Amino acid sequence: MPQNRPSIPQKRPKHVSCRDSQWGPREGRALGMKTTRALVATVALFLAACGQSVDRRAELDACQLISKSGDELARCLIMKYSWRADSAGPAKTRFQWTLDSIRLEHEKQAAAVLAQQKERHWQAMLQEATPWARCILAQSQAWERQAINETELLTPCHKQFKRPGAEALATFMVMRKPSDFDKELLKYAWDMTRDW
């Protein structure tokens, strides 16, 4: 059953202009002053935020130039440019990570260069000692059979090859690993030819 409702008299709304409107313009009307101000304020904030990131980037770059660690960078940003600690923290971490990466790469390259230099040094020492040591070891076979005396053992090698330095002889013994007898013989021959 339909209910009878009393009819509410319809008032005709009075005309409201955009300036007086609480909610701004209606569709098809020009922007009101409040809306225009809000839009201008929004655009201004957006532009300020964009400008601020450029300024912050310049501040970050300036502090990176004078900082040697992440802590120094954060201190510079906070003290010089009034950054908040929660903004300076990620920049500090990134900068320290970059510095650590660079340091590790340099250490790796330096270690590779030093290893190459050491290898060249050991090879040079080995080349210095090898001819003399081989000559002594070859002569030692005749000396063991008592076919030659001590002077005859040392003289041909001393005349033919330069006596190696102590480091070169030690390098030969480490890298060529002669027998214990041969090591003692080489030490003896080296000591005997010291004054020659």
What pLDDT, in 10s, does the model give residues 144-195? 777 677 777 788 888 889 889 999 999 999 998 999 988 888 888 888 877 6
Identify residue 193 by its one-letter amino acid code. Answer: T
Q: Does residue 7 surpass a pLDDT of 80?
A: no
Q: What is the residue extent of each domain of the chain?
A: 67-192
The Cα angle at residue 158 between residues 157 and 162, in degrees rounded to 5: 105
Neighbours of 139 (CB within 10 A): 20
Q: Does residue 100 surpass a pLDDT of 60?
A: yes
Alpha carbons 28 and 180: distance in angstroms, whole number: 107
Mean pLDDT confidence for 104-122: 96
- At 13-36, the pLDDT tens digits run 555 555 555 555 555 455 566 766
Q: Which are the contacts of 125, defined by CB distance < 8 A and separation ≥ 6?
A: 164, 165, 167, 168, 171, 172
Mean pLDDT, the chain, whole residue set = 81
| 23 or 108: which leads in pLDDT | 108
| pTM greater than the 0.95 cutoff | no
Q: Which are the contacts of 60, defined by CB distance < 8 A and separation ≥ 6?
A: 77, 91
Q: Does residue 117 surpass a pLDDT of 90?
A: yes
pLDDT value, residue 1: 52
- CA distances, 37 to each of 24, 31, 44 (Å): 11, 10, 10
Mean pLDDT confidence for 68-96: 95
pLDDT value, residue 142: 73
Mean pLDDT confidence for 44-61: 70
Contact 76, 63 (CB under 8 A): yes
Dihedral sign of CA atoms 47, 52, 54, 55 in order: positive
Q: Does residue 116 surpass a pLDDT of 90?
A: yes
pLDDT value, residue 102: 95
Q: With CA atoms as reference, report the closest residue to 88 among 111, 64, 68.
A: 64
Mean pLDDT confidence for 28-45: 62
- At 123-154, the pLDDT tens digits run 999 999 999 999 888 888 777 777 677 777 78
Helix (H, G, I), strand (E, B) or coil at 68: coil
Identify the burial level of 134 via C-beta atoms within 10 angstroms of its C-beta, where 0-12 means exposed, 13-18 middle and 19 or more buried.
middle
- Range in 28-32, 58-62, 96-100 with the lowest mean pLDDT: 28-32
